Amino acid sequence: MISRKKTIEMIDKIDTMFPDAECELVHDNPFELTIAVLLSAQCTDNLVNRVTKDLFKKYRTPEDYLSVSQSELENDIRSIGLFRNKAKNIQKLCGDVIDRFDGTIPGNYDDLVSLAGVGRKTANVVLAVAFGVPRIAVDTHVERVTKRLGITRYKDSVLEVEKTLMLKVPEERWSKTHHQLIFFGRYHCTARSPKCETCPLLEDCREGQKRMKRKDA
């Protein structure tokens, strides 16, 4: 793995590339964000935003989601992968939010992960975006680019990636770095066709250098 100093140098370059990186899930409040992040599992933010454009007009409160059958909610999110399981989790989450948290999304990690369908990544996103708590949420983009760049190890688990980033990146930069790494992975260092030839990190990226050598061979 590369050093903390080199990690910060790389993050600084990514910061220059994507200074305005932010959460791309459209939402107006912590509750809508939680639903949107839950829906985004194994799904693109663009598709989620297309679905929630109408979904958030029909369902504005936890009570609204519980006022319909699960099959009706399934139909409203049918274009999203795993829609049956997600509909079930949304309704269970809404019931818990009403029964245990007075109808509002809790602002601490332990309470968030106790909700149906809310795992570590979802909780970290909600805390960082909705409540301004410094967090690093590791999704497929963050995991991929940090391993390619050597910031983390290829054998690291998602939790190990998160912990390594928290050690190497100053806490006040956690949330911003999370979004910038996502943008870097989504729009530049993509899964299938990373833009290595124009990447400002190429001189320090072993993975990119290997890919460029294979192209030249």
207: left (phi over 0), alpha (psi -120 to 50) or beta: alpha
Active-site option among 139, 156, 168, 176 = 139
Was 205 annotated as part of a binding site? yes
- Point out the catalytic residue in the list 121, 156, 168, 176: 121
- Cα of 80 vs its chain's centroid, Å: 16
189 is in an annotated binding site: yes
| Residue 23 is labelled as binding a ligand | no
DSSP states of 64-116: HHHTS-HHHHHHHTTTSTTHHHHHHHHHHHHHHHHHHHTTS--SSHHHHHTST
**Cα→Cα distances 140→73, 103, 186, Å:** 27, 31, 10
Give dist(CA 104, CA 30) in Å, integer.
Answer: 8
Distance, in Å, from the CA atom of 213 to the CA atom of 217, rounded to the nearest integer, reads 6
Is residue 139 annotated as a catalytic residue, yes or no? Answer: yes
Query: Residues within the annotated binding site for [4Fe-4S] cluster?
Result: 189, 196, 199, 205
Query: Residues within the annotated binding site?
Result: 189, 196, 199, 205
Residues with a known catalytic role: 121, 139
